[in-house]
Amino acid sequence: MVSPAKDTSLFARRLKSAREHLGISQMELGVRAGIDEFSASARINQYERGKHAPAFTTAKTLAKVLGIPTAYLYCEDESLAELIATHGQLSSAQKKALLQFAKSL
């Protein structure tokens, strides 16, 4: 989901990538996350450019709207980030099976 870019933060890149993957605008993401519609686009833009970082509770809300685990937005290891994103899409039974498989390795 994320392509490397040195001029923006990891959180910023992951947020933008997840939003684009979902196919929604900055405005729509902000409004769905409960940000006032008059500032929603500007705030999400600032988060995606790495100019400002949201509070953790806001990041949790953004992740919920995007349908991804919050940890994905902060994970430094690309492989682990992809595993986290995949884990977030699984059913409870599949998550349990994945954990058991991982422990068996």
Q: What pTM did the predictor assign?
A: 0.85
The 10s digit of each residue's pLDDT in 40-77 is: 999 999 999 999 999 999 999 999 999 999 999 999 99
10-104 is classed in which CATH architecture? Orthogonal Bundle (1.10)
Instruction: Show me where the domains of the chain are located.
Output: 10-104
Residues 25, 31: Cα–Cα separation, whole Å = 10
Provide mean pLDDT across the span 1-17. 75
Please give the share of the chain, as a percent, with pLDDT higher than 70: 93
Confidence of residue 28 (pLDDT cuts 50, 70, 90): very high
Q: Please report the pLDDT score of residue 1 as a whole number.
A: 56
Kindly write down the DSSP assignment for every residue of 16-80, as one continuous string.
HHHHHHHT--HHHHHHHTT--TTTHHHHHHHHHHTSS---HHHHHHHHHHHTS-HHHHH---HHH
Q: Please report the pLDDT score of residue 7 as a whole number.
A: 53
Question: Is the pLDDT assigned to residue 4 strictly greater than 70?
Answer: no
